[in-house]
Structure 1
Amino acid sequence: MSDESQMRLFVRSTRPPWREILGHRWSGARDWSLVLRDAAGNCFFLGHRGDPEDTGAYVPVPDEAAAPGLRGGYTDVFRVDTTEHVDTQAVGLPTVYGRESVDLWVSWWVHDPVRVVRAKTVHGWHVVRSHLTSALRHLAEAQEVAGSGLGAPEIMQHLSMPQRLEETGLSYRVFDVRLRETGEELLLGQEEGEGVRYSWTPSRRGEYEFCLQALHAGPASLAALWLLRHPDQVREVLSWAVDHQDLLSPPRTDWQEELAVLLGTLTDQERKEISCLLRDRLSALGRPVPGETA
């Protein structure tokens, strides 16, 4: 992962220009390039430009700067980092379970060292992250207008190919989406939106079945599930449990007590009728009936 506080995409060299030119030619380096500038502000380039070989697409970069000569009158020489960098952007995607925290794994690189120097793009990840955030928000809005959900498949479909930032000389692509635990994240889409395909892929059906069982199990299971997803809300869950004991532990009653209470509410006539019915039923079962003589 890159550290913007220490990493710079280009640095000014203190060595004579001819030494830098010869050093680059002899080394055959591909992880850094040279950009030289003369007194008139013209730039000259020596090194590699374009996309890494494993990005899935290669778009040639026009040669806007000529190759330098050993006798050129150069006033500035810059070494430009052309290695491929990897960083992550935390994103909160809307699902039927609430927000789903994921990390977007982003690969970014310098595809045009000359433009990096001209635009003074010293720290690349800040520029890439700003563009990625804007692209994600536009994608979320477009998916909402189309009535579709925004999830990992849509993000990979639209952002897995190299994205050009022509003015700054940078490119990037999203190469993976992974679940994450906690942390600050970019929130996208509507919380209660329907049709979120990210939540209904085959790999998520186990979670769906688990939540379905929790619903069938009742309020106690739902409270436990909520506490699992929000462990910082223990006090709130305990307060809710105390205030809703009737839901979590329904009072257990004795049927005999309930029957006695019911009989106490009957009139004398009603009690006599029930006594007669009970006596006849006991006699039919062959049981002795109080008050009868054998």
Structure 2
Amino acid sequence: MSDDSAERLYYRTARSPRWEIVGHRWSASRDWALVLRDATGEYFVLGRRGDPDDAGGYVPMPDEAAAPPLRGHYTDGFRVDVTEHVDTRAIGLPTVYGTESVELWVSWWVHDPVRVVRTKTVHGWHVIRTYLTTALRHLAETQAVAGNGLGAPEIMQHLGVPQRLEEAGLSYRVFDVRLRDNGEELLLGQGENEGVRYSWTTSRRGEYEFCLQALHAGPASLAALWLLRHPDQVRQVLDWAVDHQDLLSPPLTDWQEELASLLGTLTDQERKEISYLLRDRISALGRPVPGMAD
């Protein structure tokens, strides 16, 4: 990944513009473009313009600058980096389990070398990151207004194709969303003091079914789910389980206790006779009885 403090998108050439033209035309490298400026302020460019071949949405750039003639009178020459860069942006997505930390993997590149030189865009990732943050906030607000959640599928759907920053001559796209452990992140979809605000989407139907089963299973299942999300809180969960035995193992009612106590005092023969009576009674009520033929 690139480092803004060390990498520049362009730099002024040391050789004469004429030698730079010859050098570029003889060079087989497509990693840089040559931008020249003449005495009238007009710009010329040699090299690739537009998207990388594998960017997923190639659109040719308009020829704002012509190729420089060898015998032109140029005052300045610039080498512009047109390779594809990769950086990451950490964000926090709201889910039913709390804020989920993910990293967006972002590919970005120069699609207009002349515009980069004109705007003096020395470090591209800083510009891309600013525009990406704005795009993510706008997407989160749009999803919230529509009553939908914001997750990896929505981000990839809207930002997975090349996004053009025409005024800067840069383009970017999000090509992956991955879980991360910790670090500085942009919180989306909620304020600092707000609880998690979340709406179910079709892509999270499985999460909904899972949570529904956990709720039906009762406190023990919810405690296990909490421990799964917070494995460092084993002691707290165990202490809670000890202090809330009444929730994990609900006490029997009075009649259940009396019946269990009575059955415990009967002999084997007496229990067998009662089981026969109970079987006949249940069968008379029209209920199926295990062990009885239809």
TM-score scaled by length of structure 2: 0.74
Q: Matched residue of 1:126: which SS?
A: helix
Structure 2 equivalent of residue 288 of structure 1? none
Structure 1 equivalent of residue 174 of structure 2? 174
Q: Matched residue of 1:137: which SS?
A: helix
Structure 2 equivalent of residue 13 of structure 1? 13
Larger radius of gyration: 1
Over residues 57-115 of structure 1, what are the superposed CA-to-partner deviations in whole Å (9 max), with x where a residue is unaligned? 22221212222233333222111000111122222222233223222221111000000
Q: Which runs of 5+ in 1 are unaligned?
A: 260-281, 286-294
CA contact (8 A) 2:200 2:208 kept: no
Structure 1 equivalent of residue 22 of structure 2? 22
Q: Please tell me whether residue 124 in structure 1 is matched to residue 124 in structure 2.
A: yes
Quick one: which amino acid aligns to residue 196 of structure 1?
T
Structure 1 equivalent of residue 147 of structure 2? 147
Displacement, 1:116?
0.4
Distance in 1, matches of 2:217 and 2:57, equals 51
Distance in 2, matches of 1:239 and 1:75, equals 76
May I ask how many residue pairs the two structures share in their alignment?
255
1:90-101 equivalence runs, <5 A: 90-101=90-101
Q: Please tell me whether residue 46 in structure 1 is matched to residue 51 in structure 2.
A: no
Quick one: which amino acid aligns to residue 156 of structure 2?
M
Distance in 1, matches of 2:239 and 2:186, equals 31
Distance in 2, matches of 1:181 and 1:94, equals 15
Q: Please tell me whether residue 195 in structure 1 is matched to residue 200 in structure 2.
A: yes
Q: Matched residue of 1:150: which SS?
A: coil
Displacement, 1:238?
6.7
CA contact (8 A) 2:32 2:81 kept: yes
Structure 1 equivalent of residue 165 of structure 2? 165
The percentage of aligned residue pairs carrying the same residue is 76
Distance in 1, matches of 2:36 and 2:125, equals 24
TM-score scaled by length of structure 1: 0.74
Over residues 166-185 of structure 1, what are the superposed CA-to-partner deviations in whole Å (9 max), with x where a residue is unaligned? 11100011122233333332
Structure 2 equivalent of residue 289 of structure 1? none
Displacement, 1:247?
4.4
| Cα RMSD, aligned residues only | 3.1
Q: Which runs of 5+ in 2 are unaligned?
A: 191-195, 259-269, 274-294
1:1-294 equivalence runs, <5 A: 1-190=1-190, 191-200=196-205, 205=206, 211=211, 214-216=214-216, 218-231=218-231, 244=244, 247=247
